[in-house]
Amino acid sequence: MRREEPMIDMTCRLCAGSGVYDFSPSKETCGMCQGHGKFADAKAMLVAAIELAKKQREPVIEVVMGLVLQGVDVRGKEPGERFKAAQAFNAPGHNLLRYGWDAWELYALHEGVSPELASLGRSVMREWHSHSWGRFSGEVGFNAAEIMIKQAKDNPEKAEERWAFLLSEEWMVE
């Protein structure tokens, strides 16, 4: 009987489960898992990756993609199983846990952006990427993650209005 692999690998991807930061000559404790090698749950792993990225001033989306979402395998899974994986991260069921916009939505929710606005931001980022809206890269692209979250928190109505406008594609006929 073949044992099925879990959908979410809780092994720390920064230290590969060793608990120590391998590039350190002194073998210092891993900055993400704090020496445990594994995480108790998906949400703890996500929070640790976000905090590590912020501490090291690295792009949060890239860190979440590389250290968290790379350990999620939903290929060939039933929709109900994928939904359970998303729930493990406190993500909405539409979040596929695979793309930069999915990572942004997880980050936005972690930072206190409302679920509705986080979903809208995810959608506009996905459309920016899918349709190569290069002129909006600094506003809704992967490198604009922090700007989008700041805008969503500081002025949610304005963020919603702007993102809805971009999604409407009315700007294409101006």
Same domain? For 123 and 56 the reply is no
Q: Which of 71, 86, 110 is the last residue of a domain?
A: 110
pLDDT class of 2 with cuts at 50, 70, 90: very low
102 and 69 Cβ atoms separated by less than 8 Å: yes
Same domain, 22 and 102: yes
Tokens standing for 71? Answer: 């350990």
Q: What does the alpha-carbon distance between residue 115 and residue 71 come to, in Å, rounded to a whole number?
A: 24
Average pLDDT for the chain:
90
Angle at 43 between CA 41 and CA 49, to 5 degrees: 110
The stretch 135-159 carries a mean pLDDT of 95
Q: What is the pLDDT of residues 45-67, one digit of tens each?
A: 999 999 999 999 999 999 999 99
Question: Is the pLDDT at 82 greater than 60, yes or no?
Answer: yes
Q: Provide the residue count of the chain.
A: 174
Are residues 78 and 133 located together in one domain of the fold? no
Averaged over 164-170, what is the pLDDT?
89
Quick check: 92 and 135 in contact, CB under 8 A? Answer: no
Q: Which domain holds residue 171?
A: 113-174
Residues 41 and 2 reside in one and the same domain: yes
Same domain, 80 and 127: no
Task: Assess whether 158 and 96 both reside in one domain.
Answer: no
Q: Is 67 helix (H, G, I), strand (E, B) or coil?
A: helix
**28 band by pLDDT with thresholds 50, 70 and 90:** confident
| Mean pLDDT score, 83-89 | 90
Residues 90 and 17 in one domain: yes
Task: Tell me, yes or no, whether 95 and 64 share the same domain.
Answer: yes
Q: Which residue reads 């919603």 in tokens?
A: 160
pLDDT digits (tens, 9 = 90+) for 89-108: 988 988 989 999 999 999 99
In this structure, the answer to whether residues 76 and 118 fall within a common structural domain is no
Q: CB of 34 within 8 A of CB of 52? A: no
Burial class (CB in 10 A: 0-12, 13-18, 19+), 95: buried
Domain end marker among 69, 92, 110: 110
Q: How many domains does the chain have?
A: 2
User: Tokens at residue 149, please?
Assistant: 């979250």
Contact between residue 138 and residue 121 where contact means Cβ atoms under 8 Å apart: no
Region class of 169: left (phi > 0), else alpha (psi between -120 and 50), else beta: left
Among 89, 110, 131, the domain-final residue is 110
Kind plus residue range of the DSSP H or E element containing 117 = helix 115-130
- 84 and 1 within one domain: yes
Which residue reads 């002025």 in tokens? 155
Answer whether residue 123 shows pLDDT above 60: yes
Same domain, 101 and 123: no
Q: Which amino acid is at 129?
A: H
Same domain, 85 and 121: no
